Amino acid sequence: MRTIEELARPEVLRWENYQVQPVTGCKMDANESSFPLPESVLQAAIEWLKHEDLRIYPDTDCLELRKAIAGRYGLSVHEIICTVGSDQLIDYLSKAFLSEGDRIVVPRPSFSMYALSAEINHGSAVPFELTEDLRYPVDQILEICRQNRPKILYLCNPNNPTGGVIPEEDLRRLIEGTDAIVALDEAYAEFAGFDHAEWTKEYPRLIVLKTFSKAYGLAGLRIGYGIAQAPLIRVLDKVRAPYNLGTFPQILAREALKCPEYAERIRITAAERDRIYAALAPYAGRNGFMIYPSRANFLYMRTGSAGIEEYMLARGLSVRFYGDAAGTIRATVGRPRQNDALIEALRAWVTVQAADDKE
Ligand SMILES: *Cc1c(COP(=O)(O)O)cnc(C)c1O
């Protein structure tokens, strides 16, 4: 008899499960929305549950939702694919484009799912490091692509966890300078006030990845989508699981697209982000503290010491910790009072606590 260990793929046995940090107190770790479900979306959800039937399989093609998304961008339904979060879209990109041993090129630091998904699907990831001031090193990326001939180049704009954006001329150089699929992850683009869905008309190898998990505050429903020219979408559709997206997520996503309240919420979140940055930027350079400009709904900081984790958790602030000696954290923008608490805690850390540490 063969054991589970003998039957499993050897590399799978070596992998760690995706770890989610335990949360205590104020949840500022996962870039979720701090706003409740809008009343109109909640009402539509309740009405739908009262009158519709969950015994029936969902529309396997998500046609109405794709129409709604396509309508918003002035595109056709053939240029949209809907998935269970953009995580599933990343998985489909790996499944559809990677054969055994194929490579992808990914930024570092950035979203861990790109590399993870490539490895699960028998490929491998070649990382490039962001520059000292956290920009994408265009020439170096193009050189890495020339050497490695990746099937997919991932770009995250604004980049998670650093919050910076790729200037448009750099973006064009990256798309035009490679012959890979360019997967442009714009999960946070609403907070930056742009999106590059339009660019897919010009570039047949470009796919823009979008999600309802962040600006639309629907992370719990797992809804993502991709925008690309029809031939690219058709390839992805071949590896898509039937009925991948449930009826309820499809209905709520359509309702969310109709809801006018999100624009104001996005504006408030961006203003709060800028307020946190302005409050903490004067401390840059003190006791190893550094904060970086962000166009997303989070801020990336170096706090000078690994002790930051215990310190923040003791104050009920669950930000994302990276556990490094530089005390790197990523804090999601929350409600104004949570942001006040974040600012106060970090001010005290930089001016008092960090100084104590160094004695
Ligand atoms: C949160 C996030 C996503 C969205 O993931 P979902 O699976 O749609 O929840 C995608 N890309 C990045 C960079 C993210 O941070």
Query: What domain range includes position 338?
Result: 4-30+262-353
Q: What are phi and psi of 237, to 5 degrees?
A: -65, -25
pLDDT at 359: 47
Boundary residue ending a domain (210, 241, 258):
258
Each residue's pLDDT expressed in tens, for the chain with a length of 359 residues: 999 999 999 988 988 888 787 888 899 999 999 999 999 999 999 999 999 888 999 999 999 999 999 999 999 999 999 999 999 999 999 999 999 999 999 999 999 999 999 999 999 999 999 999 999 999 999 999 999 999 999 999 999 999 999 999 999 999 999 999 999 999 999 999 999 999 999 999 999 999 999 999 999 999 999 999 999 999 999 999 999 999 999 999 999 999 999 999 999 999 999 999 999 999 999 999 999 999 999 999 999 999 999 999 999 999 999 999 999 999 999 999 999 999 999 999 999 854 555 44
| Same domain as 93, residue 161 | yes
Q: Indicate whether 62 belongs to any domain.
A: yes
Q: How many other β-carbons are positioned within 10 Å of the β-carbon of residue 100?
A: 7
| Same domain as 68, residue 11 | no
pLDDT at 296: 98
- Residue 173 to residue 143: CA distance in whole angstroms: 12
pLDDT at 238: 98
Structure tokens at 339: 């942001």
Instruction: Give residues with Cβ within 8 angstroms of 28, minimum separation 6.
Output: 317, 318, 319, 320, 331, 332, 333, 334, 338, 342
Please indicate whether residue 160, judged by its CB atom, sits closer than 6 Å to ligand 1: yes
| Same domain as 282, residue 229 | no
Instruction: Report the CATH number that the domain containing residue 23 is assigned in CATH.
Output: 3.90.1150.10
Q: Which atom of ligand 1 approaches the CA of 111 most closely? A: 13
- Is the separation of the CB atoms in 214 and 31 below 8 Å? yes
Boundary residue ending a domain (228, 258, 288):
258
**In terms of Cα–Cα distance, which of 284, 264, 283 is closest to 272?**
264
| Same domain as 213, residue 183 | yes
pTM beyond 0.85: yes
- Residue 106 to residue 103: CA distance in whole angstroms: 10
Rg, C-alpha atoms of the chain:
21
Q: Indicate whether 312 belongs to any domain.
A: yes
DSSP output for 125-153:
EEEEEPPTTS---HHHHHHHHHHH--SEE
| Same domain as 105, residue 8 | no
- Is the separation of the CB atoms in 79 and 200 below 8 Å? yes
Q: Tokens 């919420």 identify what position?
A: 265
| Same domain as 347, residue 252 | no
| Same domain as 206, residue 132 | yes
Classify burial at 358, counting beta carbons within 10 Å of its beta carbon; exposed 0-12, middle 13-18, buried 19 or more: exposed
For the stretch 3-10, contacts whose Cβ atoms lie closer than 8 Å and that sit 24 or more positions apart, written own/partner, are none
| Same domain as 177, residue 70 | yes
Boundary residue ending a domain (258, 275, 308):
258
- In Å, how far are 54, 241, 313 from 84, measured between CA atoms? 18, 10, 32
| Same domain as 44, residue 15 | no
Q: Indicate whether 358 belongs to any domain.
A: no
Which residue's alpha carbon is nearest to atom 3 within ligand 1?
187
Please indicate whether residue 213, judged by its CB atom, sits closer than 6 Å to ligand 1: yes
Q: Indicate whether 276 belongs to any domain.
A: yes
Domain tally for the chain?
A: 2
| Same domain as 25, residue 96 | no
pLDDT at 352: 82
Please indicate whether residue 162, judged by its CB atom, sits closer than 6 Å to ligand 1: no
Instruction: Give residues with Cβ within 8 angstroms of 42, minimum separation 6.
Output: none
pLDDT at 353: 59
| Same domain as 226, residue 125 | yes
| Same domain as 67, residue 21 | no
Q: Indicate whether 359 belongs to any domain.
A: no
Q: How far is the CA of 313 from the centre of ligand 1 (A)?
A: 24
3-state SS, residue 21 = coil
Please indicate whether residue 166, judged by its CB atom, sits closer than 6 Å to ligand 1: no
- Residue 33 to residue 22: CA distance in whole angstroms: 18
Burial 318-335 (b: 16+ CB within 10 A, else e): bbbbbeeeebbbbbbbbe
Please indicate whether residue 170, judged by its CB atom, sits closer than 6 Å to ligand 1: no
